[in-house]
Amino acid sequence: MTAPVGLTMTLASSTVAVTGTISDPEGFPLAGITVALFANGRDEGVRVDTTTTDDVGGYRFTRMHATVGDDYRVETTDPSGAHVFSQSIVTITSGPMTTHHRTIQVAGHIQGIVRAQDDSARVQSGTEVCVTATGEHAVQAVNVSARGRFRIGGLPAGEYAVTFHASNPKLADLPPTLVTVTAGRTTTIEDRALPTR
């Protein structure tokens, strides 16, 4: 139907649902994936709801007040770090339900041990050293454990610069270590010793 000249037609919002399945590249459904839905923008937006995929990889957002053509952003996160974070846009279609399936990539890991060169300035707690992996498509950071161990997951395959920053004023930072990450594999780097200041 065409609106008369001078009149503007406004589409009414209705109650709709967004549903779908999260799978790995082989097509296997993934349980326990955190799925977040954002409205009012393709970039920042406002979080509408968060859910977790069920045993068959399914998720569902219900009772949403939306209009056909509205864009929402869907973000997926694997709390285990076994799969890469992803985000995509879903556009609301006509009817009570919009289906949006996602395939997320298998992630790689980096792990290692950090210690101090001088025992008098040893790493005493898990908050004293932050390890950051910076790549072209992802940045992940963790604090080392009380024993100096760290493991960074959720990394897309690629090259990363791994940096070590110590909050202990007695410990100096190290130059970046270049690491190649492969999907589905854990890369263990050599033990790193933080010099004293």
Topology agreement, domain 15-103 and domain 108-194: yes
Per-residue tokens: 157: 């395959």
In CATH, the number for domain 108-194 is: 2.60.40.1120
CA distance linking residue 155 with residue 163, whole number of Å: 15
Closest CA to 154 of 119, 188, 110, 98: 110
**CATH architecture entry for 15-103:** Sandwich (2.60)
pLDDT at position 28 is 97
Cα 145 to Cα 171: distance, rounded to the nearest angstrom = 16
* CA 163 – CA 112 distance, rounded (Å): 12
Domains of the chain, residue spans = 15-103, 108-194
Q: What is the pLDDT along the chain (197 residues), one digit of tens a residue?
A: 455 555 544 455 688 999 999 999 999 999 999 999 998 766 668 899 999 999 999 999 998 888 999 999 999 999 999 999 999 999 999 989 999 999 999 999 999 999 887 765 555 555 578 999 999 989 999 999 888 899 999 999 999 999 999 887 888 888 899 999 999 999 999 999 888 87
Q: Which of 165, 194, 189, 195 is nearest to 177 (CA)?
A: 189
Residue pair 76/51 in contact (Cβ under 8 Å)? The answer is no
The secondary structure of 80-140 as a DSSP string is TSSB--EEEEEEPPSSSEEE--EE-PBPEEEEEEEEESSGGG---STTSEEEEEEESS-EE
Q: What is the residue whose two structure tokens read 């993934």? A: 30
Q: Residue 167: its pLDDT value, please? A: 84
